[in-house]
């Protein structure tokens, strides 16, 4: 159906179901329980899951499939956001013109950067993208302030033209009248679920984008990309020119990033320059690796994992730890809280860094690989497919999930 194999269609349907049911699945704890702060089902976080999932899926096409590590994708995220906010300022709060502009502009920007950067590969390519990202950030932060409003961030002011707006138009981002900020809450028993228009808008786009990436993975184009990752020199010898393919992959991933940036501004009409720092690119690299580079679901899982950590885990503080371990004898409880203290709350960056290192060292395939190993161990299947190590050529083939 729709050009996918039966297995893939089932997979897509499962993903669709999970995405649409997210507001329910992420609120497992009743409101009144002590664990309620681990609920992740509020609109802002769910929207971020979807948006950074889109970002990570796009990045995965470049890094997971093609093998090029780019540190510059945050620039496209920023460009997408600025485009959408400019459309708010010029036309109206309808998100559609902004999103279309975001994809086009970031695609063009990616074409420019990709054309220059892809003349080199490997570490040189990474550093080129790094230089471009920092340059774009500096330009957006200090130099091009009429366009980007620098440190304060681009916002809509009362004296903006907004030509397409009239008295009846909503004064916050909307999609042809469906306002993004509107929520509906549902109370069932002790649980509370929040259904947000904004989340569903992002979720539907995420599903479409996921479907596209699936098609790319399975297509001849995707196989070409994997060939480039495996051994580019050999590909050259067979007479194929990798350049158009890598450029296409770069532009596609740039457009995904622009779309994600545009959606960020569609949910919250402010575009800050910090979105373009190279450390924001580092974040998406973390997400892809953590989840599993080169797999379909991996980057999305990685994005969700990191966003969850950032928002929920960082809110745990000593009081909460004491509440958890209150069953233990006092001395032991204090000792455990003391040991865990540097790793929670504000120190969650430390936990994230350690986790990242562990994943890169021991589990290069990310969470997906971890999950597969556990599944194999649990189901007792004796999979012959061994884990390729990078020091054996050819480079490891992507896990096809």
Partner 1 sequence: MHPARGFIDAGFTMDAIILQILNGLDKGSAYALIALGLTLIFGTLGVVNFAHGALFMLGSFCAVTLQKILSLSFTVEDPSQKDFLGNPLKVDTPYIVSWFGDATGNAILNWSVPLAILFAIPVMLLVGYVMERGLIKHFYKRPHADQILVTFGLAIVIQEIVKYFYGANPIPTPAPDAFRGSVDFGVLIGFAQNEIIYPYWRLVYFLFSALIISAVFAFLRFTTFGMVVRAGMADRETVGLLGINIDKRFTIMFGIAAAVAGLAGVMYAPINSPNYHMGMDFLVLSFVVVVVGGMGSLPGAVLAGFLLGILESFASMNEVKSLIPGIDQIIIYLVAIIILLTRPRGLMGRKGVMEE
Partner 2 sequence: MSKFQMNRRTLIKSGTAIGAGLALPTIFTSSARAYLNEPKGGTVTLGFNVPQTGPYADEGLDELRAQELAVQHLNGEGDGGMLNTFSSKALKGNGILGKKVQFVSGDTQTKSDAARASAKSMIEKDGAIMINGGSSSGVAVAVQGLCQEAGVIFMAGLTHSNDTTGKDRKANGFRHFFNAYMSGAALAPVLAKAYGTDRRAYHLTADYTWGWTQQESIATATEAMGWETVNNVLTPLASTDFSSYIAPVLNSGADVLILNHYGGNMVNSLTNAVQFGLRDKMVNGKQFEIIVPLYSELMAAGAGANVRGVYGSMNWNWQLQDEGSKAFVKSFGEKYGRPPSNSAHTCYVQTLLYADACERAGTFDPCGVVEALEGFEFDGMGNGPTLYRADDHQCFKDVLVMKGADNPTNEYDTLEIVEVTPRAQVEYAPDHPMFAGGELGKCNSGA
Chain positions contacting partner 2, by CB under 8 A: 1, 3, 39, 42-45, 48, 138, 141-142, 150-153, 155, 157-159, 172, 181-182, 184-187, 194-195, 197, 268-270, 272, 274-275, 311, 314-315, 346, 349
Q: How far is the CB of 396 from partner 2 (least distance, A)?
A: 34
356 touches partner 1 (CB under 8 A): yes
394 touches partner 1 (CB under 8 A): no
Q: 130 contacts which partner out of partner 1, partner 2, none, CB within 5 to 8 A by kind?
A: partner 1
* Contact map string, positions 276 to 305, toward partner 1, x by CB under 8 A: --xx--x--x---x----------------
Burial 327-354 (b: 16+ CB within 10 A, else e): eeeeeebeeebeebeeebbeebeebbee
Q: Which stretch binds partner 1 (CB under 8 A): 120-128, 199-207, 219-227, 260-268?
A: 120-128
Task: Report the residue number, 128 or 271, with the smaller CB distance to partner 1.
Answer: 128
Q: How far is the CB of 242 from partner 1 (least distance, A)?
A: 11
Dihedral sign of CA atoms 357, 358, 364, 365 in order: negative
Q: How far is the CB of 272 from partner 2 (least distance, A)?
A: 4
Q: How many residues bind partner 1 (CB under 8 A)?
A: 46
Dihedral sign of CA atoms 300, 301, 305, 308 in order: positive
In sequence order, the 6+-apart residues with CB closer than 8 A to the CB of 225 are 61, 65, 66, 245, 246, 249
From 134, 149, 162, 246, residue interacting with partner 1 (rule: CB under 8 A): 134
121 touches partner 1 (CB under 8 A): yes
Task: Report the residue number, 13 or 360, with the smaller CB distance to partner 1.
Answer: 360
Q: How far is the CB of 40 from partner 2 (least distance, A)?
A: 9
Q: How far is the CB of 357 from partner 1 (least distance, A)?
A: 4
Q: 397 contacts which partner out of partner 1, partner 2, none, CB within 5 to 8 A by kind?
A: none
Site for partner 1 in 204-233 (CB under 8 A): 232-233
347 touches partner 1 (CB under 8 A): yes
138 touches partner 1 (CB under 8 A): yes
Task: Report the residue number, 132 or 250, with the smaller CB distance to partner 1.
Answer: 132
From 357, 374, 376, 400, residue interacting with partner 1 (rule: CB under 8 A): 357
Place of tokens 């970002």: 55
Q: Count the neighbouring beta carbons within 10 Å of the beta carbon of residue 15.
A: 18
251 touches partner 1 (CB under 8 A): no
**List of residues contacting partner 1 (CB under 8 A):** 63, 67, 69, 116, 119-124, 126-128, 130-132, 134-135, 138-139, 141-144, 232-233, 278-279, 282, 285, 289, 342, 347, 349-350, 352-354, 356-357, 360-361, 364, 390-391, 395
């Amino acid at each position: 159906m729709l050009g996918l194999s039966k297995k893939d269609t089932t997979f897509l349907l499962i993903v669709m179901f999970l995405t649409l049911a997210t507001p329910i699945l992420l609120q497992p704890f009743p409101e009144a329980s002590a664990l309620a702060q681990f609920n992740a089902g509020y609109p802002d976080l769910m929207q971020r899951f979807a948006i950074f999932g889109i970002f990570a899926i796009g990045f995965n096409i470049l890094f997971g499939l093609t093998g090029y590590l780019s540190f510059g994708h945050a620039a496209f995220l920023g460009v997408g956001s600025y485009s959408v906010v400019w459309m708010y300022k010029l036309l109206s709060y309808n998100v559609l013109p902004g999103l279309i502009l975001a994809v086009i502009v970031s695609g063009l920007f990616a074409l420019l950067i990709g054309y220059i950067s892809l003349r080199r590969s490997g570490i040189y390519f990474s550093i080129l993208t790094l230089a471009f990202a920092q340059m774009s950030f500096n330009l957006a932060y200090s130099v091009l302030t009429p366009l980007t409003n620098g440190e304060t961030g681009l916002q809509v002011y009362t004296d903006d033209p907004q030509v397409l707006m009239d008295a009846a138009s909503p004064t916050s981002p909307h999609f042809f009248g469906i306002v993004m900020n509107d929520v509906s809450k549902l109370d069932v028993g002790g649980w509370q679920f929040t259904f947000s228009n904004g989340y569903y808008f992002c979720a539907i786009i995420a599903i479409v984008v996921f479907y596209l990436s699936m098609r790319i993975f399975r297509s001849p184009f995707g196989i070409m990309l994997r060939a480039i990752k495996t051994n580019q020199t050999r590909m050259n010898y067979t007479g194929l020119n990798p350049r158009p393919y890598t450029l296409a992959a770069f532009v596609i991933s740039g457009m995904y990033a622009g779309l994600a940036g545009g959606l960020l501004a569609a949910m919250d009409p402010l575009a800050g320059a910090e979105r373009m720092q190279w450390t924001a690119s580092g974040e998406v690299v973390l997400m892809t690796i953590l989840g599993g580079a080169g797999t379909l679901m991996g980057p999305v899982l990685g994005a969700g994992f990191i966003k969850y950590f950032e928002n929920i885990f960082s809110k745990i503080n000593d009081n909460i730890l004491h509440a958890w371990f209150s069953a233990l004898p006092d001395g032991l409880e204090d000792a455990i809280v003391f040991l865990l203290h540097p790793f929670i709350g504000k120190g969650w960056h430390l936990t994230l860094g350690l986790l990242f290192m562990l994943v890169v060292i021991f589990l290069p395939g990310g969470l997906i690989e971890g999950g597969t190993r556990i599944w194999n161990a649990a189901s007792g299947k004796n999979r012959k497919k061994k884990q390729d190590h990078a020091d054996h050529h050819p480079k490891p083939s992507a896990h096809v999930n």
